[in-house]
Amino acid sequence: MTALPSGQYLIRQRKSDERQVPKFRSDMTAPEVAAMLETAFRVRGGAVDFRTLGLQPRQFLGYPGFQFDFEHLDNDELWRKGRAVGAVVEGRLYLILFDATRSHYYGNALPDFEVMANNARIRSS
């Protein structure tokens, strides 16, 4: 997610959809952003079970941010594990998210994700 402005949705959705993912607000706390991500996984991703494994402060893009670790079970009965690293910078949400099957791919690919998260930068215009 690159520079999502306040008042915008994380995902596309129709106003007529019964269940909605809330809009991002620039004053959201890390727990509120985590809850928004959980709602996205439940509403759009089809998660039937979602568990928060951790939420902690973390630098991202050189700014104070957060790390959100989670796992979820989807309709296909396959457990997945994920990590989101993000920060709100000048009122905009910057986020990198990794989600993979818990049994094999998550542990194998997490080091590559960490390299990307640790080296991410905002391009100056």
| Domain count within the chain | 1
Contact 49, 76 (CB under 8 A): no
Integer Cα distance of 43 and 119 in angstroms: 31
Q: Tell me, yes or no, whether 52 lies in a domain.
A: yes
The rounded mean pLDDT for the chain is 90
82 has a pLDDT exceeding 90:
yes
Give the CB-side neighbour count of residue 43, counting CA atoms within 13 A.
Answer: 17
Give pLDDT, residue 7. Answer: 85
Q: Tell me, yes or no, whether 124 lies in a domain.
A: no
Domain range for 30 is: 4-119
Contact 65, 118 (CB under 8 A): no
